[in-house]
């Protein structure tokens, strides 16, 4: 069946089923002249008569009966397909792909595990990447982003939480180098930070403005490796509060400044936002995020 002639096959199917041009035209919502034109065109392309025309209507020939049988089976298959697709969209099951930045991974692992406990038919995949995945290409269903969420008009962006950032040091570092006694004591200490500062992130801008380059002794490719360096005792560095406060050997060396906070966003594509599983997960995620700032 040539897909380019789909309308003509559909018309011939309705004529074969209903046996009159007028009835087929009413079902299809077209003029009866269109029905006749489609039949004549399809018969010409197939090189065979599909109908015997008479005063009472159209009677399928042997070729027309073959077309009726195949088209009826095709209609049934398409109806079943539509039902499966509708059911897939209406049920909380199947694959759920979530993407986030490396430092968000502990939060997302906890959230996804709790969500799956309530929705055991969900098969989750967590993609940890500093690169923003393309939601419009189906690379992920839900994206967690920090800082600027992007301005793609096809995405739905919702603020989840403002996450406190703090300056931390390992207790072994403090034992070797002493505590940080205020901003004026910065030149006497060693620091960890990313190699390339993103000035749109307030805490990165702060460390760039207040810590001299000669005091940065451990540079990293991303914030996750900064975290590893600080926990290893290489120097003082910024960590999310939920990571620094959860580690028994980490100490906050300055009072946290609210201006250092990082905004976390949930991003979904408009075409998937209202599907059952995405809507369900995002609702659950937003509720979980209410407690993140207190971790």
CATH number at residue 180: 3.40.190.10
Q: Is residue 81 one of the residues assigned to a domain?
A: no
On whether both 28 and 145 belong to a single domain, the answer is: no
Instruction: Provide the 3-class DSSP secondary structure of residue 10.
Output: helix
| Residue at a domain's end among 40, 73, 106 | 73
Query: Phi first, then psi: what are they for 82, rounded to 5°?
Result: -60, -40
Report whether 262 contacts 160 (CB < 8 A). no
pLDDT at position 147 = 80
pLDDT at position 245 = 94
Per residue in 152-186, pLDDT (tens digit) is: 778 999 999 999 999 999 999 999 999 999 999 99
Per residue in 205-256, pLDDT (tens digit) is: 999 999 999 999 999 988 889 999 999 999 999 999 999 999 999 999 999 9
pLDDT at position 137 = 82
Would you give the distance in Å from CA 56 to the centre of its chain?
Answer: 57
On whether both 152 and 274 belong to a single domain, the answer is: yes
- Residue, of 200 and 112, whose pLDDT is higher: 112
The mean pLDDT of 187-203, rounded to a whole number, is: 92
Work out the pLDDT band at 87, boundaries 50, 70, 90: very low
CA dist 5 and 48 (Å) reads 15
Q: Is residue 233 one of the residues assigned to a domain?
A: yes
Residue span of the structural domain in which 182 resides: 165-260
User: Which residues contact residue 111 at a Cβ distance below 8 angstroms, ignoring those fewer than 6 apart?
Assistant: 284, 285, 288
On whether both 274 and 219 belong to a single domain, the answer is: no
Domain count of the fold of the chain: 3
On whether both 245 and 174 belong to a single domain, the answer is: yes
Is the per-residue pLDDT at 88 higher than 70?
A: no
pLDDT at position 149 = 72
| Residue at a domain's end among 73, 103, 126 | 73
Per residue in 199-216, pLDDT (tens digit) is: 788 999 999 999 999 999
On whether both 123 and 193 belong to a single domain, the answer is: no
Is the per-residue pLDDT at 49 higher than 70?
A: yes
The mean pLDDT of 36-47, rounded to a whole number, is: 92
- Residue, of 93 and 167, whose pLDDT is higher: 167
On whether both 34 and 172 belong to a single domain, the answer is: no
On whether both 207 and 218 belong to a single domain, the answer is: yes
The mean pLDDT of 88-93, rounded to a whole number, is: 66
CA dist 179 and 102 (Å) reads 29
CATH number at residue 62: 1.10.10.10
The mean pLDDT of 275-293, rounded to a whole number, is: 93
On whether both 120 and 69 belong to a single domain, the answer is: no
Q: Is residue 134 one of the residues assigned to a domain?
A: yes
The mean pLDDT of 87-101, rounded to a whole number, is: 79
On whether both 178 and 210 belong to a single domain, the answer is: yes
On whether both 157 and 177 belong to a single domain, the answer is: no
Is the per-residue pLDDT at 63 higher than 80?
A: yes
Work out the pLDDT band at 126, boundaries 50, 70, 90: very high
């Amino acid at each position: 069946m040539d897909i380019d002639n789909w309308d003509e096959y559909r018309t011939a199917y309705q004529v074969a089923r209903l046996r009159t041009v007028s009835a087929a035209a009413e079902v299809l919502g077209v003029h009866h002249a269109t029905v006749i034109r489609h039949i004549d065109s399809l018969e010409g392309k197939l090189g065979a008569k599909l109908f015997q025309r008479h005063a009472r209507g159209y009677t399928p020939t042997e070729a027309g009966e073959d077309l009726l049988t195949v088209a009826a089976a095709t209609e049934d298959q398409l109806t079943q397909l539509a039902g499966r697709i509708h059911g897939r969209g209406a049920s909380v099951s199947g694959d759920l792909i979530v993407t986030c930045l490396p430092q968000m991974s502990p939060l997302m692992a906890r959230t996804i595990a709790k969500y799956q406990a309530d929705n055991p038919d969900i098969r989750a995949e967590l993609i940890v990447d500093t690169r923003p995945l393309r939601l419009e290409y189906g690379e992920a269903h839900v994206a967690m982003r920090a800082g600027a969420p992007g301005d793609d008009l096809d995405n739905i962006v919702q603020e989840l939480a403002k996450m406190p950032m703090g300056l931390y040091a390992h207790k072994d570092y403090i034992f070797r180098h002493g505590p940080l006694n205020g901003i004026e004591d910065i030149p006497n200490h060693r620091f960890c930070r990313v190699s390339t500062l993103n000035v749109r992130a307030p805490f990165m801008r702060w460390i760039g403005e207040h810590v001299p380059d000669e005091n940065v002794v451990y540079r990293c490719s991303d914030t996750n490796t900064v975290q590893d360096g600080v926990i290893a005792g290489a120097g003082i560095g910024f960590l999310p509060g939920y990571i620094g406060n959860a580690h028994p050997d980490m100490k906050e060396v300055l009072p946290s400044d609210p201006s250092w906070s990082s905004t976390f966003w949930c991003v979904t594509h408009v075409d998937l936002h209202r599907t059952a599983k995405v809507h369900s997960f995002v609702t659950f995620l937003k509720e979980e995020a209410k407690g993140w700032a207190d971790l």
